[in-house]
A and B are shown apart, each in its own frame.
Chain A
Amino acid sequence: EAQVTQNPRYLITVTGKKLTVTCSQNMNHEYMSWYRQDPGLGLRQIYYSMNVEVTDKGDVPEGYKVSRKEKRNFPLILESPSPNQTSLYFCASSPWTGGDTGELFFGEGSRLTVL
């Protein structure tokens, strides 16, 4: 089954304790991206990657890191989480070739609470 898999789905942590949210897709998509979803603000892009070893900042990258060492994986790293990073996080991938809508395929989300 074609899918984007995120883990963990739910996490409660404390300020300053490093954590990683993993993301893996099995559709051989070039493009991958991380979003956070907050009430009233919608989905905001954190980082994206056009291909292996190619990453770039989105609209809200502060406090986050990413890496793309393999095509299928795109982990999101919070080096020192703070309470304002409490949010619902989505990983997405796309076969985007540049000449179309760039349909995004989303994972089921990871709800993170930072105390």
Chain B
Amino acid sequence: QKEVEQDPGPLSVPEGAIVSLNCTYSNSAFQYFMWYRQYSRKGPELLMYTYSSGNKEDGRFTAQVDKSSKYISLFIRDSQPSDSATYLCAIRTGGFKTIFGAGTRLFVKA
């Protein structure tokens, strides 16, 4: 079983839609959960992070962690064509290591 599982998509939505991106993970000891955004032909950039359980909101983006079910989510409200990118969930494991999901490709159509 992979430590982090993420549906690679692609996911295509109309402009203005609410987008839900999700990952599951295997180790209940993980504490730091992140979402990176990667535009085409660019390196990933940190979008949001959450420590332990709960929600974190930043503008149109909300990151959510449910440790009881080992499930992490990223919600995008009022999605825009500029949100079209690959979104990677990431988890800091023990020590100095970050593991990544496969990434979900998102297309927002104008």
Contacts and interface: CB of A to CB of B under 8 A. Distances in A.
Given A42-B6, A106-B43, A109-B42, A101 B49 contact: yes
A27 interface: no
Contacts of A109: 41-43
Contact of B96 (A42, A102, A106): A102
B74 to A, nearest CB: 15
Query: What range describes how many residues of B lie at the interface?
Result: 20 to 34
Interface residues of A, number: 26
Given A50-B96, A104-B46, A106-B43, A40 B8 contact: yes
A92 B100 CA distance: 13
Contact of A42 (B34, B42, B88): B88
B100 A42 contact: yes
Interface of B: 4, 6, 8, 32, 34, 36, 41-46, 49, 51, 88, 92, 96-103
